[in-house]
Each structure stands twice: as C-alpha cells, then as structure tokens.
Structure 1
Amino acid sequence: MNNILFIKSSLNGEQGNSTILAQELVANLSVNSEVKVVERDLAEQGLEHLTQIEMAAWMTPANERNSAQVKLTHISDSLIEELTTSDTLVIAMPMYNYGVPSTFKAWVDRVARAGVTFRYTENGPVGLLKNKKVVIVAARGGIHAGTVSDSQTQYLTSFFNFLGLDDITFIYAEGLNMPGNEERYAAAQAEIKNYSL
C-alpha cells in the first residue's frame, strides 16, 4: 500500500491545469499499484498566513496551552501528520507571478517545524523526514523551466531537501497560454502516463 498525499493549490480549483494533470497522475498511479489517497486542497481550505500567535502556540509546552493555542497548534499538527504518514507527495503546482501560490507557502510555514520535521545541529539544519517520493506537476502559462525566471524549481527542491526529502520529480506543463499549448500539454500527459512509483 502506497499512501499518497495529493496537495492542490490552484485558485481555479478542479478546473486548474495543475489540478487536472496531477489528478491524472494520481489516477494512473491508482491503476498501477495499490494506493490510499488523502487530498488537501489548500485554496479551498483557505489556509491563512502564519502569525506570531500561532507559532508561539507551537512553542508553548502542550500541558500549558490554553484552548485557543490547542486549536491553533492542531492546524500544523494535522498537516504534519498527513505529511509524515504519506509515502508519496503529489503536488499540483501552478505558477503565480513567478512564485508558488500563497496558500502553498502557508502550508510550507506550518509543516516546517524545528524539532518535528527538521532539527538544528552544529553543522546546520537536518531534515527529519525520509523515504518519501515527491512528484510536482508544475503548470505554467509561459515557458520557464531551466531559465532564470523559474524560481519555483529551486525553491521547492531546497524546501523539500530541508525536510530531508531528496527524491523529487518535476513534470512540467509549460506555455499553456501560448501558441502550441496543445502539444506541450499532451507531452506532459505522456510523461504522467509513463511515471511509476
């Protein structure tokens, strides 16, 4: 059994190109192997920006938290639980203004917790998550992969490496708002069809 955490972040919901393509990947993986899928739609959930109050709740000993702090800590705890119990992460990633959606950054800020998913050592931070695959389906209106305008690839690679995950695959669907988009979309679909765990 492979536990898949499917993270969606498109403001266009089920109509977003990243969502549609990543859903095809999840469906294909479900046909070729036994999987259990947990979906997390960050845009639909409306995950708010991290605040100092919420972060302070994490740092308060569990037996000293008030009811508000317990509720705030539960947000991060539940997201981390989904992440740590997964074997594979499938991430539907649109590009907005050369970056990741702000809701995805809000997720990042809650799953990167010192002492939980990484720890500090005298040689720098060390990720505490291991043995997980990360597959990022990146849908973009323009063409950015391999150029200086592709801030997503390095950011996402660095972030997941920070947590201890280095088995990362990117599937790009680019130029979707440009002439010839049908061919590029079909090429991404072919890559998705050929991907296996």
Structure 2
Amino acid sequence: MTQTVLHIDSSARYQGSTSRSLSAQIVERLGADEVIRRDLASPLPQLTENWINANFTPADDRDAVQRDLLALSDQLVEELKAADTIVIGTPVYNFAVPASLKAWIDLIARVGLTFSYSEAGPKGLLEGKRAIIAVASGGTQFGSDIDFFSGYLRHIMGFVGITDVHFVAADALMADADAAMARANTAIDALAA
C-alpha cells in the first residue's frame, strides 16, 4: 500500500531550527512513497473580507475573481486530502503556534471541504488520517499550564476529522537541550512507519 505524507514546516528559521530537524527525521522514519512539501516560512495570505465572501458563495456561483481568491486555499485542502499522514514541524512562539501555521489552519478549515455542520455540531471530513506534530520550545514545557499550542493543534486536527494525533516534543530546550532532544528522538524511534 502506498503512503503519502504531507510535510509542513512553520518555523521562520531555516538554519538551526529544531522543529524542522525533527519533522525531517519523522518523514524519513515514515519512509513514504510520496511526500508533499509545504513550507510556511514563505507567508500565506491572511483572510480578508473578500476571501470570506468568496468562501461562502456557492461554488457554482463564484466569479473568476472569487475562484482566484480561493485557489491557494483549494490547493492546500487538496494537499491535505491527498495525504495519509500529516507531519507538522512547529516552534512555539509566545506560547502558541506561529502566525504562519495559524494562517494555514484558517485556509484549510473550510465548511463543506474539511468539515461540515449537522444537528449534532461540526463533523470533520478528513477521517482516517494520522497527524504527527513535532514541537520545539525554548521554555514552554509540553502539557504545562502555559502550553497553549498542543491542545489547540489537537482540537484543530480533530475538527477536520483527524483524531489520530501524536506529538514529538523537544520542549524546554533552554533548560536542558540534551534531555529535550533525547526525549524527542525516543518518541521518533517509537513511531510506527
């Protein structure tokens, strides 16, 4: 069976980025047949009123300008749909995810494409996928009271239907980098391909 991985990095740093290093190790460990690469260091656009209006216009009624406004979002959704496993490398900036990753989330969380509404509430449409999130933080400990990123990312993944979510955390690197990297490498070694 072929496996497709969507590999997303959101660190603003290219050199010396722990989250980039960890996400690359995870992708290598998975040994995927195909890897779709999305680097968020090149910023994605923020949502605008025109984008929102285009998004809520029925697809058959959209004009060329609206279709153009949604083209990148459509592409990001297709990348997500094509993947069996999503690997996200993210640093922790100011106790949360980088703005670049939040912009990606805003562009892929689309009613009718990645989730739907029902009488029972929202339902994710991307079931059967797995997400592995590599997190690097200087001072924020994973799972602590000031960890505002892991619960958010787990919730967003579940919101679009991805409930098989694993974290590889190199947390509190500034306190003990060697121990943090050892924990992260152990978690990577434990991942099933």
| TM norm. shorter chain > 0.5 | yes
- What SS is found at the alignment partner of 2:192? coil
Map 1:1-197 onto structure 2 (within 5 A): 1-30=2-31, 34-44=32-42, 46-178=43-175, 180-197=176-193
Contact 2:169 2:183 in 1 (8 A): no
Q: Return the alpha-carbon distance in structure 1 between the equivalents of residues 122 and 139 of structure 2.
A: 34
Q: Deviations over 1:62-106 (max 9, x none)?
A: 344333222111111000000011000000011000111111111
SS at match of 2:149: helix
User: Distance between the aligned counterparts of 1:183 and 1:61, measured in 2?
Assistant: 52
Per-residue CA deviations over 1:143-166 (Å, capped at 9, x if unaligned) read: 422211011111111111111111
Could you list the runs of 4 or more consecutive aligned residues of structure 1 that deviate by over 3 angstroms after TM superposition? 61-64
TM-score by length of 2: 0.93
User: Do 1:14 and 1:20's aligned partners in 2 also have CA atoms closer than 8 Å?
Assistant: no
Structure-2 separation of matches of 1:113 and 1:14: 33
Q: Deviation digits for residues 100-157 of structure 1, max 9, x if unmatched?
A: 1111111111111111111111111111111000000111101422211011111111
CA contact (8 A) 2:115 2:122 kept: yes
| Structure 1 or 2: more helix by fraction | 1
- Counterpart amino acid of residue 182 in structure 1: D
CA RMSD of aligned residues (A): 1.4
Percent identical across equivalent pairs?
38
The total of aligned residue pairs comes to 192
Distance 2:135 2:46 in 1: 23
Structure 1, unaligned stretches of length 5 or more?
A: none
How far apart in 2 are the matches of 1:52 and 1:13?
32
